[in-house]
Structure 1
Amino acid sequence: MRFATYEHEGRRHCGALAADNRLHPLPDGTDLLDLIRSGADALHAAGRTALAGPPGPAVDEVRLLPPIQPPTVRDFVAFEEHVEGVRKSVSGVAGVPEQWYAAPTFYFGNPYAVIGAHDDVPVPPGSQALDFELEVAAVIGLEGSDLTPEQARDHIIGYTVFNDWSARDLQAAEMQVGLGPCKGKDTATTLGPWLVTADELEPHRDEDGFLRLALTASVNGTVVGTDLLSNMGWTFEDLVAYASRGTTVRPGDVLGSGTMGNGGCLAELWGLNGAQQPAPLKVGDTVVLTVEGIGSTANTVVPGTAPQPIPAARPRPRTRP
């Protein structure tokens, strides 16, 4: 089953998507995140009721919003091939760090920067090297702590396409401090076009427990990357289990897979090519990301704002009490 949050005739709605690409609205005032918090059975029941009722607008008649406004966003780096290329591009170092193999590393993203499947993406202030990143995100549907991977499967309620827009020049500069990405990842994260419930993707699971879904990234109609989601180093259940270690995952939390290999972002190709080829994204470029079994997003780059000046740090004071 597929659920969307959308804007139609100036009003915000949630609905279930039918096979004919028409949205069947849920009752007025329904928020998909609240419905997720009610549990998978309640979500499916609401979807069945909506689909049995009269249809609403077609998908191409609405503005698709992010399916949910997530309370937290974690973004992993689960594709070895991506790490190989982008590390060379961002830090100039070849190879994959040994620590990458030890645990599925992630950083926390900005839930306030989440945008819809067809929304415009402003250039981050001060950036000259904007990039996309094709990922898939799991959405948590059940609270849990210190989960095993086996337990974690029941805590994933669905999946959506995830585009981790990245200002590579800002990212490269700030990561010299050693705290990971900051403003390089802070302007936009696409979620959409809808939430696909986990049961719908079970037929795509391979013998090792990975979801075998085809991934395609294109810029202005030219394909720049293709991969399989099953090339992840860990399953989504592994990611959820690790995220829950020593803490709690809660309904609505979003966990990105990390960027696919083989052209899932431009920076990977820059690392392999030794130059910024293909060129960084520019105003007017449209990025389309497609995930088999889930759907497509299509965002166009638009001008951003100029950065407000911040002074450099003053020399360290030497006074003491």
Structure 2
Amino acid sequence: MRYATYLHGGRTQAGVLADGHLHPLQTRSLLEFLNWNDYERAAATRAALTRRGTPLDAVSMLAPIEPPTVRDFVAFEEHVEGVRKSIDNADGVPDQWYRAPTFYFTNPYAVVGTGADIAMPPGSQVLDFELEVAVIIGRAGRDLDPEQARDHIFGYAVFNDWSARDLQSAEMKVGLGPCKGKDSASTLGPWIVTADELDAYRDADGFLQLGMSVEVNGREAGRDLLSNMGWPFEELVAYASRGTEIRPGDVLGSGTCGNGGCLAELWGRRGRQDPPPLRPGDTVTMTVEGIGSITNTIVEGVEPRPIPPARTRPRARPHSTAPGAR
């Protein structure tokens, strides 16, 4: 099945996609739907399919879910190698990358859907796309093993982790981050495809052999296979649950694929910004086999409000001078 959130007649609605039509669920929120039990979800889906649907071309698609958390992994070796060269001018892949999957938390409030305009991040002149697939969690769990984790994956969507490379490069010199380099937008969509729909693409090692591609202004920039990940999604989910809880609606990105999954990888390999960074007016389209396509256009952003540099302070440790202090 495919589940979506859309805008129609001024109303936000969650629905089921069938035969090119969106059939409304008895909720406006797929996050609410994911928190129902399996029986309730199945009954709601059957009921939705009996209702009159709205053609896809008559609605505006939104991000399918407003996720409570977004973790983004870095699971493609080729991407790590290229981007590391671009941002840090370092060769190879760190040994630690092979030992355990790494992720960072990104901004759930910045998640948008296909068709949304993407504003240039304030202060950035070097905007990049990142072609990924995300899993959406459908059941809470903690300290899962990979076999258990499979039952906690509700479905998959295309994911674009927009990146301001100039901001990212500067802020990560502190040894923490990324922060504002990844804070402005992430595209999720066009809908959630349930996990069972993609089982036919699974190889003997548990990886999903899905073709992935990205175009800028109609010209292909990158193409890869999702099965080139270093870990299958079940292992990423299991790692994310270690010592903590994952919950329905949580989004976990695969990280960017290789072979042009982002511009920075190409810059690192070529030693120059070729193709150039994204600019207002550019349109980026990503397509993943078995899931669908997302498209966004870059628009002008706002100028950053100035923040002064840090004030250096003396390291003295005087007694408090607060009233009444001794």
TM value normalised by structure 1? 0.97
Work out whether residues 157 and 198 of structure 1, in 8 Å CA contact, stay in contact via their aligned partners in 2.
yes
Counterpart residue number, 2:138 = 141
Counterpart residue number, 1:2 = 2
Counterpart Cα distance in 2 of 1:62 and 1:242: 37
Q: How does 1:222-237 map to 2 (within 5 A)?
A: 222-237=219-234
Q: How does 1:149-168 map to 2 (within 5 A)?
A: 149-168=146-165
Counterpart residue number, 1:17 = 17
Are residues 1:238 and 2:235 paired? yes
Counterpart residue number, 2:170 = 173
1:201 Cα offset (Å): 0.8
Q: 1:113 aligns with which of 81, 85, 110?
A: 110
Work out whether residues 76 and 105 of structure 1, in 8 Å CA contact, stay in contact via their aligned partners in 2.
yes
Counterpart residue number, 1:44 = 42
Are residues 1:290 and 2:276 paired? no
1:53 Cα offset (Å): 2.4
Q: How does 1:1-321 map to 2 (within 5 A)?
A: 1-19=1-19, 21-27=20-26, 29-55=27-53, 57-321=54-318
SS at the partner of 1:196? strand
Work out whether residues 5 and 28 of structure 2, in 8 Å CA contact, stay in contact via their aligned partners in 1.
no
Counterpart Cα distance in 2 of 1:66 and 1:223: 24
Counterpart Cα distance in 2 of 1:40 and 1:178: 43
1:41 Cα offset (Å): 4.0
Counterpart Cα distance in 2 of 1:48 and 1:136: 27
Work out whether residues 39 and 141 of structure 1, in 8 Å CA contact, stay in contact via their aligned partners in 2.
no
SS at the partner of 1:50? helix
> Which residue identity does 2:16 align to in structure 1?
A
The alignment-based identity, stated in percent, is 67
Work out whether residues 113 and 186 of structure 1, in 8 Å CA contact, stay in contact via their aligned partners in 2.
yes
1:309 Cα offset (Å): 0.3
Counterpart Cα distance in 2 of 1:254 and 1:98: 27
TM value normalised by structure 2? 0.96
> Which residue identity does 1:16 align to in structure 2?
V
Runs of 4+ in 1 over 4 A off after TM superposition: none
Counterpart Cα distance in 2 of 1:219 and 1:305: 23
SS at the partner of 1:78? coil
**Alpha-carbon displacement from aligned partner over 1:225-260 (angstroms, at most 9, x marks no partner):** 001101100010000000000111011000000000
Segments of structure 2 that go 5 or more residues without pairing to the other structure are 319-326
The Cα RMSD (Å) is: 1.0
Counterpart Cα distance in 2 of 1:42 and 1:2: 17
Larger radius of gyration: 2
Counterpart Cα distance in 1 of 2:118 and 2:274: 21
**Alpha-carbon displacement from aligned partner over 1:152-203 (angstroms, at most 9, x marks no partner):** 0000011111100000000000000011200000000001000111111111
**Alpha-carbon displacement from aligned partner over 1:248-277 (angstroms, at most 9, x marks no partner):** 101100000000000000000000010000
Counterpart Cα distance in 1 of 2:76 and 2:312: 41
Work out whether residues 40 and 141 of structure 1, in 8 Å CA contact, stay in contact via their aligned partners in 2.
no
Segments of structure 1 that go 5 or more residues without pairing to the other structure are none
